[in-house]
Structure 1
Amino acid sequence: MRIQMLSVLLLFVLPNSIANALASNAASPIHTFYDYQLYSAISKDAPQTTAKPLTSLPSTIINADVVLVGEWHSHSAIHRFQAELYQKLLEHNTQVALSMEQFSRPVQNVLDQYLKSEIGELALIAHAKAWPNYSSDYRALVEQAKSESMPVIAANAPREIVRCIGQVGVDYLESLNAEQRQTIAANLDITDRPYKNNFQQVMEGVEQASIEKMYAAQVAWDETMAESIAMHHAKYPHQQILHIAGRFHVENGMGIAYSLHKRAPKLKIVLITPVSSLDEPLGMSQYPEHRLLVLPLPTQVMNTHEHGGFSHPHSSSQPDCQ
């Protein structure tokens, strides 16, 4: 079935393009990697069998305390949406902090220095260990926060520590000194729950002992980002928080939202999850979950032979976990 979408105008041509895209009456199919369409929310309390394209930014997003936006890293339309959504939220709420998976807690001071114009972007990229696609995909968000004098939360756990948790298990935390331990959430919930079942399905074919360690690492990401958000909200309760993270951390509210709710159960949380088809099922989350329809990413690997010699774009040398 052909799905009609609202066209999205280029950000540099029309700064308020998200508003115009949502309000436009002229519909056209999504056919480029810059196009997107935001669809109405689903939840346990308000399940929908028919998705509806939104004609205005919904109150669930405008009035949320925390907006969690999932992404497929390096997807142009999703990054465009994030930047346009952030601008629209700033127009409504004026005080919107940006929280990011792409920076870890130890580099918070570097981020703060950049936001105060005490260092340049090259220093930010080098000393904050920015992802390789920072300039193309995340610069717009950080520059928006900087221009509005808004904070950017380095929300994540350090990559090298989380990798060691994935290799050794959650017991690795006992080997950390006090300063290192503060870079990871105080509590990690690695108990059995639906999120763990989903993770095991993704890791199908991996031996169970390894899955347990890798799941602990996954939870370390979620719990640390959730704790970072909760701590910022406790300090600045008047600020709305827009958090950017990979889709698995956000979808169905099982990752970051679950961990955040435990820490701050009164927060109004809304989810935005990218999908490449409206037929793609999402679980009925307890939180409003909007769908962001975009084109699917190109197939990364067609066969096992072409995979050799390539590494994950955000990978680095393996740490010494002894």
Structure 2
Amino acid sequence: MRRILYIFLSFFLWSEAMAQLVPYRIFTKEGEEVAFEAISTAASNHEVILFGELHNNSMVHWFQLQLLKNLIDVNVNLILGGEFFETDDQLNIDEWFSGKITDKSFEAEAKLWKNYKQDYRPLMMFAMGRDVPFVATNIPRKYASAVSREGMDILDTFSEEAKRYIAPLPIVVDKELPGYAAMANMMHGSSMEPDHMIEAQAIKDATMAHSILKNLPSEGLFLHINGAYHSNDYEGIAWYLRHYDPEIKVMTITAVEQEDIQSLDEASFHKADFIILLPVDSPKSY
């Protein structure tokens, strides 16, 4: 009898230890746990997927690559796009994808994020190998920086050539949106002008939404990679997509970290259609 109890207890403790080693969990917005495949299945009913990432979390980037692979198998007209390239890099990307310039030339001329090679290049290489176009969606940083200093009106002073890389002006900004309002509260006491910082965030969100809509495939799907704060709570890019096209079908994914991933904290419910829950000590690229 003691031996049976010992075996049972050992198995129970082993099971508990293994449960702690699960590297991720996925939940719906209501907190129901689902398999990764549920994301790919749900995607087929939408036109745009906004995959909100934690920029330095390597597990999130692995998920993005797996989702891309799954979607390629079921979507003939698939387009990949991302915040991590600015709209004025599109020519470089097109020349690289078409084989007109080398990897070395592309990486020398494009504005690469510091974790590009580890986290984003695998996505680009896989898309290139499967003839999936890539769209650079983010506003050139110099214009967003100008807005953060001077406010949205500064954009009117730029040339028509410059405005080609920005969402059409004027840009509607709802500063009462919870995400933007929280940004203003965080800046209380800062030397920066909160309204200008909100406008800088909004011009990024609006430009990414405009870039997506401008390149939306017919009878297809646009998978967009962006920081989670650009689409959490269906704000940011998601808000501008609906602003420009109220009928558009958008699905959102976000990633959150917790010390304990046995269940999703209620604070993360409804952040997105699907929430990928990761341990705080999951691998980081920087």
- Normalising TM by the smaller chain, what interval? 0.7 to 0.9
Alpha-carbon contact 2:213-2:241 (below 8 Å) kept: yes
Aligned: 1:237 with 2:221: no
- Quick one: which amino acid aligns to residue 238 of structure 2? A
Taking the TM superposition and a 5 Å limit, the aligned residue runs for 1:57-68 are: 57-58=38-39, 59-68=41-50
Taking the TM superposition and a 5 Å limit, the aligned residue runs for 1:153-192 are: 153-187=135-169, 188-192=171-175
Q: CA deviation at 1:223?
A: 0.2
Q: CA deviation at 1:189?
A: 2.1
Q: CA deviation at 1:29?
A: 4.0
Aligned: 1:193 with 2:176: yes
Alpha-carbon contact 1:37-1:294 (below 8 Å) kept: yes
Aligned: 1:296 with 2:277: no
Q: In the superposition, relative to structure 1, how do residues 147 and 214 fare at CA in structure 2: closer, same or farther (>3 Å)?
A: same
The residue aligned with 2:126 is: 144
Normalising by the residue count of structure 1, what TM-score does the alignment of the two structures yield?
0.75
Q: In the superposition, relative to structure 1, how do residues 126 and 36 fare at CA in structure 2: closer, same or farther (>3 Å)?
A: farther
**SS in structure 1 opposite 2:209?**
helix
- List per-residue Cα deviations over 1:82-127 (Å, max 9, x = no partner): 0011101111213210011011111111100111111122222221
- Quick one: which amino acid aligns to residue 212 of structure 1? D
The residue aligned with 1:132 is: 114
**SS in structure 2 opposite 1:281?**
helix
The residue aligned with 1:110 is: 92
Q: In the superposition, relative to structure 1, how do residues 186 and 270 fare at CA in structure 2: closer, same or farther (>3 Å)?
A: same
Structure with the higher fraction of residues in helix conformation: 2
Match for 1:281 among 261, 267, 270? 267
The residue aligned with 2:194 is: 211
Q: In the superposition, relative to structure 1, how do residues 67 and 55 fare at CA in structure 2: closer, same or farther (>3 Å)?
A: closer
- List per-residue Cα deviations over 1:22-46 (Å, max 9, x = no partner): xxxxx954648xx333222x2xxxx
Alpha-carbon contact 2:97-2:128 (below 8 Å) kept: yes
Alpha-carbon contact 2:77-2:218 (below 8 Å) kept: no
- List per-residue Cα deviations over 1:177-220 (Å, max 9, x = no partner): 0011121111422233223212223434436x611111110001
- Distance in 2 (CA, whole Å) between partners of 1:28 and 1:39 is 20
When Rg is computed on C-alpha atoms for both structures, the one with the higher figure is 2
**SS in structure 1 opposite 2:276?**
strand
Q: In the superposition, relative to structure 1, how do residues 158 and 280 fare at CA in structure 2: closer, same or farther (>3 Å)?
A: farther
**SS in structure 1 opposite 2:167?**
coil
- Distance in 2 (CA, whole Å) between partners of 1:163 and 1:31 is 42
- Distance in 2 (CA, whole Å) between partners of 1:142 and 1:29 is 34
- Structure 2: give runs of 5+ residues left out of the alignment: 1-16, 259-263
Match for 2:32 among 17, 41, 51? 51
- Structure 1: give runs of 5+ residues left out of the alignment: 1-26, 43-47, 301-312, 314-322
Count of residue correspondences: 260
Alpha-carbon contact 2:83-2:208 (below 8 Å) kept: yes
Alpha-carbon contact 1:36-1:81 (below 8 Å) kept: no
- List per-residue Cα deviations over 1:6-63 (Å, max 9, x = no partner): xxxxxxxxxxxxxxxxxxxxx954648xx333222x2xxxxx2x43232632432232
Alpha-carbon contact 1:106-1:158 (below 8 Å) kept: yes
The residue aligned with 1:260 is: 241
Q: CA deviation at 1:282?
A: 3.6
- Quick one: which amino acid aligns to residue 240 of structure 2? S
Taking the TM superposition and a 5 Å limit, the aligned residue runs for 1:4-43 are: 28-29=18-19, 31=21, 35-40=23-28, 42=29
The residue aligned with 1:304 is: none
**SS in structure 2 opposite 1:274?**
strand
Q: In the superposition, relative to structure 1, how do residues 191 and 107 fare at CA in structure 2: closer, same or farther (>3 Å)?
A: same
- Distance in 2 (CA, whole Å) between partners of 1:162 and 1:30 is 42
Alpha-carbon contact 1:104-1:156 (below 8 Å) kept: yes
Task: Give percent identity, aligned residues only.
Answer: 28
Normalising by the residue count of structure 2, what TM-score does the alignment of the two structures yield?
0.84
